[in-house]
């Protein structure tokens, strides 16, 4: 009997040993997984659609869909493009034709194959293995598609704040600060600079009466088929208000880039200044020389006085929110009211701004390029795509 008990104990011991040998690797892996999860800090982010996502802090693989300027904002915010694994082709075109690709060459190697226009290829996106995707908040179905693929998604809006450029940039920086909390000081410096710059401008233009405000026309897109301006609900309205001017097309209530006008309307308005965005190849000399279509600009006040200007292109096309918004605001104020801002040296302000806020030292050639953008600045942009 004793011999039988010893035999049974031996069998049990062998069985236990086998169980431990077989399952101990699984337990070990499970323990490691829990440990990894517990060591990875997470942050709960409420996006611009009100959706809540738990995302790991300091994501190393980020994809940005068709919020075009956001790729440049993130790059300058982090002083690196290394976290970006996917950006929209329109964002890439600005990087190639502006200063971003020169300042951060690695962004030129980031994948763009996952998007064509506003169409998202979810299979291509999944191949990029992103930790998080920042997508256009106005396209909720796109966000659901991304989440259904098991990928964290944060909706970011360019229009929620009625095209208030500084407010929109502030909200973008807030989301980025939550994802990368160690860089929060950068967004705070930008916010402070933006507030002070706008305050400086507003203080200088506040006594201009409505009848003495300069009339400004924005050419968002201009070619031989169409002239698109900024009505009341587009970025041009904010820029005009911010520098104490009048958006001459504010009577147009159409949202976004739908304000199509003709030359008869331009003649009736007769603007004092014209600003041309980098979403169109058109340049000031095209208006001076009447070189687009059969349009005759020769009797328009802004053309007569040579007050037609191409908006700057540095990190991104500056009509939209972005890194360059505060300094572009100062540049525009000086163009609209040169006597009120004659003490402002834009080149020096630009140099100081980039150095103080982002520790980037621009060369004289880079500053010149920023304020003298070419037709190629519009390369890759598709007017049918919502920004």
Give the architecture-level CATH label for domain 42-187: 3-Layer(aba) Sandwich (3.40)
Q: Kindly report the CATH number that applies to the domain delimited by 189-378.
A: 3.40.50.1980
Instruction: Kindly report, residue by residue over 34-66, the tens digit of the pLDDT.
Output: 333 334 799 999 999 999 999 999 999 999 999
Helix (H, G, I), strand (E, B) or coil at 366: helix
Judge whether 325 and 350 are in contact, CB under 8 Å: no
**Hunting for tokens 């049918």 — which residue is that?**
384
Residue 271 or residue 375, greater confidence: 271
Pseudo-torsion of CA 8, 14, 15, 16, nearest 10°? Answer: 110
DSSP secondary structure string for all residues of 46-99: E-TTS-EEEEESS-SSEEE-S-TTHHHHHHHHHT-STTEEE--HHHHHHHHHSS
Helix (H, G, I), strand (E, B) or coil at 31: helix
Domain ranges (residues) in the chain: 42-187, 189-378
Instruction: Kindly report, residue by residue over 6-44, the tens digit of the pLDDT.
Output: 444 444 344 434 333 333 333 333 333 333 333 479 999
Cα–Cα distance for residue pair 185/191, rounded to 1 Å:
10
Cα–Cα distance for residue pair 69/279, rounded to 1 Å:
12
pLDDT class for 4, splitting at 50, 70, 90? very low
Task: List own/partner pairs for 352-356 with CB under 8 A and 24 or more apart.
Answer: 353/193, 353/326, 353/327, 356/189, 356/193
pLDDT at residue number 289: 97
Instruction: Kindly report, residue by residue over 106-137, the tens digit of the pLDDT.
Output: 999 999 999 998 899 999 999 999 999 999 99
CATH topology identical between 42-187 and 189-378 = yes
**Who contacts 247 (Cβ-Cβ below 8 Å, separation ≥6)?**
216, 218, 230, 232, 236, 237, 239, 240, 241
pLDDT at residue number 188: 82
Tokens of 355: 């150095």
């Amino acid at each position: 009997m004793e011999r039988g008990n010893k035999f049974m104990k031996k069998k049990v011991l062998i069985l236990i040993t086998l169980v431990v040998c077989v399952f101990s690797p699984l337990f070990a892996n499970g323990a490691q997984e829990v440990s990894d999860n517990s060591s990875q800090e997470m942050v709960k982010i409420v996006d611009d659609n009100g959706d809540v996502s738990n995302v790991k802090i300091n994501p190393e693989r980020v994809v940005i869909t068709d919020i075009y300027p956001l790729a440049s904002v993130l790059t300058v915010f982090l002083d690196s493009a290394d976290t970006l694994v996917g950006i929209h082709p329109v964002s890439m075109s600005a990087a190639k034709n502006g200063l971003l690709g020169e300042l951060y060459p690695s962004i030129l190697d980031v994948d763009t194959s996952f998007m064509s226009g506003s169409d998202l290829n979810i299979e291509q996106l999944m191949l990029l293995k992103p930790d998080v995707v920042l997508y256009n908040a106005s396209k909720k179905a796109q966000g659901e598609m991304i989440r259904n693929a098991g990928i964290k998604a944060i909706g970011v809006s360019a229009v929620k704040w009625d095209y208030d450029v500084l407010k929109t940039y502030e909200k973008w920086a807030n989301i980025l600060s939550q994802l990368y909390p160690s860089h929060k000081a950068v967004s705070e410096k930008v916010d402070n600079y933006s507030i002070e710059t706008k305050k400086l401008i507003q203080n200088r233009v506040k006594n201009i009466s409505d009848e003495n405000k300069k009339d400004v026309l924005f050419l968002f897109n201009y070619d031989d088929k169409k002239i698109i301006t900024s009505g009341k609900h587009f970025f041009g309205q904010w820029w005009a208000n911010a520098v104490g001017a009048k958006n001459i097309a504010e009577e147009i209530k159409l949202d976004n880039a739908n304000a199509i006008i003709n030359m008869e309307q331009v003649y009736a308005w007769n603007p004092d200044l014209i600003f041309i965005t980098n979403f169109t190849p058109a340049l000031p000399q095209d208006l001076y020389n009447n070189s687009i279509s059969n349009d005759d600009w020769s009797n328009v006040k802004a053309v007569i006085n040579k007050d037609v200007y191409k908006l700057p292109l540095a990190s991104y096309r500056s009509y939209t929110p972005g890194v360059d918004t505060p300094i572009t605001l100062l540049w525009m104020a000086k163009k609209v009211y040169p006597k009120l801002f004659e003490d402002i040296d834009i080149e020096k302000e630009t140099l100081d701004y980039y150095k103080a806020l982002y520790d980037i030292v621009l060369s004289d050639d880079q500053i010149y390029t920023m304020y003298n953008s070419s037709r190629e600045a519009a390369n890759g942009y598709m007017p049918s795509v919502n920004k």
